[in-house]
Amino acid sequence: MIEVFKKYIREKSKVSEEDLDKIIAVCQVKRVRKRQYLLQEGDVWKFNAFVTKGCVRTYTLDDKGNEHIINFAVENWWTGDRESLASGEPSIFNIDALEDSEIVLITKPNFEMLCAQIPAFNDMVNGILQKSFIVAQNRIQTFISLSAEEKYLKFLEKFPHLVIRVPQGMIASYLGITPETLSRIRNQTAKK
């Protein structure tokens, strides 16, 4: 599990093996069973989290109890609640496992220490943050400007691996459409 994280860092940065050992020394490994929470609404998120195995989702509940999925994270993706991490305020999100998952956790103080002491790690983190911002912008643009069918087709294009791992109702929630609409779209696209 740690080997997956080490491989990721080697591929995404110019961190020396000595610095990589420093990074690994502050990592915690957490195994999360399917349907188990990594974060529950009202708790403060204290980690930077990297998925080495499995699939998790971040979602919120509205006042009627409806789920609104913010994102999914699979192998080699980062996850967490950046706002709660930065502010120390309770999270409005839940993060739970859709599959048995393994997560590498680094506490905020340790993460900040690594960024301050290891320039190559800091450069990698800045690149990840920039990419995350672009992904968020694209998600907003997709959400406000595309039709339900266009949203689904874009999801298929960007995340084909998620279609077989995530229940259709959750994909519908992520896209902001009803499961019935998604079913209709899937039937129509299958006929084309």
| CATH of the structural domain 2-130, one choice from 3.20.20.70, 2.40.50.140, 3.40.50.720, 2.60.120.10 | 2.60.120.10
In this prediction, residue 24 carries a pLDDT of: 98
Whole-number pLDDT of residue 44:
98
pLDDT at residue 54, as a whole number: 98
Q: How far apart are CA 155 and CA 172, in angstroms?
A: 10
Residue spans per domain, the chain: 2-130, 146-192
| Residues whose CB falls within 8 Å of the CB of residue 79, separated by 6 or more in sequence, listed in order | 38, 49, 50, 51, 56, 58, 71, 73, 95, 103
- What is the rounded distance in angstroms from the CA atom of residue 71 to the CA atom of residue 111? 22
Cα–Cα distance, 88 to 181 (Å, whole number): 38
Distance CA 183, CA 168 (A): 8
The per-residue pLDDT string of the chain (192 residues; one tens digit each, 9 = 90 and over) reads 899 999 999 999 999 999 999 999 999 999 999 999 999 999 999 999 999 999 999 999 999 999 999 999 999 999 999 999 999 999 999 999 999 999 999 999 999 999 999 999 999 999 999 999 999 999 999 999 999 999 999 999 999 999 999 999 999 999 999 999 999 999 988 876
- Residue 165 tokens read as 């791992």
Tokens of 79: 């996850």
> For residue 147, is it left (φ>0), alpha (ψ between -120 and 50) or beta?
beta
How distant, in Å, are the alpha carbons of 11, 12, 163 from that of 7?
6, 9, 26
pLDDT of 1 reads: 83
Nearest to 80 by CA among 100, 66, 94: 94
